[in-house]
């Protein structure tokens, strides 16, 4: 799932984009002219507050759009960088990857046109790949850490995720598997159940293209991995 935020002169719309559907989540009214800096600040803050709630549910890709020859998306992203920089750090549990496109998405047919365009699909693919690379980098950095848990046996992963007691012991948790592992596995129902329960328990789940660098690294572990970082471990932004 991805989030799509469309900015217009006096309002913004927030959509949740699923594989086969789009859901209008909220509409935000500016109320005053954009030259009113206080009103614009409050407007941007209301969008950020809505995004935070959805990011806490595990969404990690946010696409912002606006009509051609406007600076609305730039204004919003500048606001985030200035006041909520942590949101632009996708390796954080409360961060995301942001991308920009041109276009209006006020109406469902406009959303459908944008989402089905090659540019949107390519952007989401690039954003997901970037995020995956950063998470894999964190995996590599903590492989030898005493505060690190790594599982790559499906049975061990299931036992760990299905055990409710473990939820008080760990911080950020990731379940990552390659698309090839999912496609070739004879126990797809078992995997789908694992993915569903993982999401419901706030585990960050990712299905990765096996041909990408991140996918190849996961394939070295057999195609599926589960790893955790304790809450006290602070992730660093790589520059």
Looking at 3.40.190.100, 3.30.420.60, 3.40.50.1820, 3.30.930.10, the CATH number of the domain 2-116 comes to: 3.30.420.60
Q: Average pLDDT in the 69-86 region?
A: 96
The stretches of the chain forming alpha helices (DSSP H) are 37-55, 72-83, 108-115, 118-142, 154-162, 179-184, 188-200, 213-219
Q: Which residue has the higher pLDDT, 169 or 8?
A: 8
At residue 127, the 3 state secondary structure works out as helix
User: What gap in Å lies between CA 144 and CA 168, rounded to an integer?
Assistant: 22
User: What gap in Å lies between CA 46 and CA 28, rounded to an integer?
Assistant: 7
Q: What's residue 83's pLDDT?
A: 96
Q: Which residue has the higher pLDDT, 129 or 208?
A: 208
CA angle 9, 13, 19 (to 5 degrees): 140
- Give the model confidence (pLDDT) of 36-52 as tens digits: 999 999 999 999 999 99
Inform me whether the pLDDT recorded for 198 exceeds 80: yes
Inform me whether the pLDDT recorded for 74 exceeds 60: yes
pTM here? Answer: 0.68
Q: Average pLDDT in the 78-102 region?
A: 88
Instruction: Give φ, ψ of 230 to 5 degrees.
Output: -55, 150
Q: What's residue 93's pLDDT?
A: 66
Inform me whether the pLDDT recorded for 25 exceeds 80: yes
Q: What's residue 212's pLDDT?
A: 83
With bands split at pLDDT 50, 70 and 90, how would you rate the model's confidence at 3?
A: very high
For the chain, percent of residues with pLDDT exceeding 90: 52
Q: Where are the domains of the chain?
A: 2-116, 132-229
Q: What's residue 91's pLDDT?
A: 67
For the chain, percent of residues with pLDDT exceeding 70: 89
User: What gap in Å lies between CA 219 and CA 14, rounded to an integer?
Assistant: 36
Lowest mean pLDDT among 33-37, 126-130, 153-157, 191-195: 126-130
- Give the model confidence (pLDDT) of 52-65 as tens digits: 988 877 678 899 99
Inform me whether the pLDDT recorded for 14 exceeds 90: yes
The CATH architecture to which 132-229 belongs is 2-Layer Sandwich (3.30)
Torsional sign, CA 96, 102, 104, 105: negative
User: What gap in Å lies between CA 222 and CA 210, rounded to an integer?
Assistant: 11
Q: What's residue 79's pLDDT?
A: 97
- Give the model confidence (pLDDT) of 138-187 as tens digits: 788 777 776 678 899 999 999 988 886 655 455 678 899 999 999 999 98
**Strand arrangement of the beta sheet that strand 172-178 belongs to:** 149-151, 224-229, 172-178, 204-208
Q: What's residue 237's pLDDT?
A: 34
Angle, in degrees to the nearest 10, between helices 188-200 and 154-162: 30
């Amino acid at each position: 799932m991805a989030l799509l935020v469309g900015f217009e002169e006096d309002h913004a719309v927030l959509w949740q984009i699923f594989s086969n559907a789009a859901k209008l989540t909220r509409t935000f009214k500016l109320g005053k002219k954009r030259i009113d800096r206080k009103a614009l600040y409050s407007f941007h803050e209301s969008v950020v507050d809505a995004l935070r709630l959805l990011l806490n549910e595990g969404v990690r890709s946010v696409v912002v759009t606006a009509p051609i020859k406007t600076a609305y998306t730039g204004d919003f992203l500048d606001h985030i960088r200035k006041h909520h920089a942590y949101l632009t750090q996708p390796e954080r549990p409360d961060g995301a990857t942001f991308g920009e496109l041109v276009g209006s998405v006020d109406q469902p047919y406009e959303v459908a046109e944008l989402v089905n365009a090659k540019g949107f699909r390519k952007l989401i693919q690039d954003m997901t790949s970037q995020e995956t690379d950063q998470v894999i980098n964190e995996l590599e950095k903590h492989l030898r850490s005493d505060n690190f848990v790594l599982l790559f046996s499906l049975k061990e992963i299931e036992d760990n995720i299905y055990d409710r007691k473990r939820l008080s012991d760990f911080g950020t948790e990731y379940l990552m598997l390659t698309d090839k592992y999912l496609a070739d596995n004879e126990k797809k129902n078992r995997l789908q159940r694992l993915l569903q329960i993982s999401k419901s328990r706030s585990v960050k789940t990712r299905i990765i293209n096996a041909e990408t660098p991140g996918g190849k690294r996961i394939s070295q572990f057999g195609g599926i991995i589960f790893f955790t970082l304790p809450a006290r471990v602070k992730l660093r932004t790589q520059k």
